[in-house]
Amino acid sequence: MATLTGIAVGEFGKTVTITLQDAAGTAVNISSYTTRTVELVSQSGKKLSKTAAFQTDGTNGKITFSFASGDVDKDGIWEGQVYLSKTGEQSKSAIFEVDVTASVT
């Protein structure tokens, strides 16, 4: 399971990039998908749904999203999954983790 790091409680506005890969580790061309959503759940049960965009044109498998103010309010491991859809198809990524660190304030 992949883990994203570098996120702290209270942080927002930072762009997060995820690369979707096949089982061999090769980036997947996702350019034909019209809807891209990242779903996240904290250990305390908070759920977030973030609209994602292609980093470029989707052929490199990269999507981006940002946290808004108030989104990241608990430290710990959050679980996430990417949902992609287009006419007649919906795909899900493997579950990944986001390691959210505590803030000193």
What's the whole-number mean pLDDT along residues 60-80? Answer: 95
pTM metric for this prediction: 0.90
Would you state the pLDDT for residue 104? Answer: 80
Would you state the pLDDT for residue 103? Answer: 83
Q: Closest by alpha carbon to 75, among 100, 96, 98?
A: 100
pLDDT at 36 over 80: yes
Would you state the pLDDT for residue 2? Answer: 74
Could you list the residue range(s) of the whole structural domain that residue 37 is in? 3-101
Q: How far apart are CA 85 and CA 80, in angstroms?
A: 17
Domain harbouring 17, CATH code? 2.60.40.10
What's the whole-number mean pLDDT along residues 44-68? Answer: 96
Domain count, the chain: 1
On the CB side of 62, CA atoms within 13 Å amount to: 8
What is the C-alpha radius of gyration for the chain, rounded to an integer number of angstroms? 14
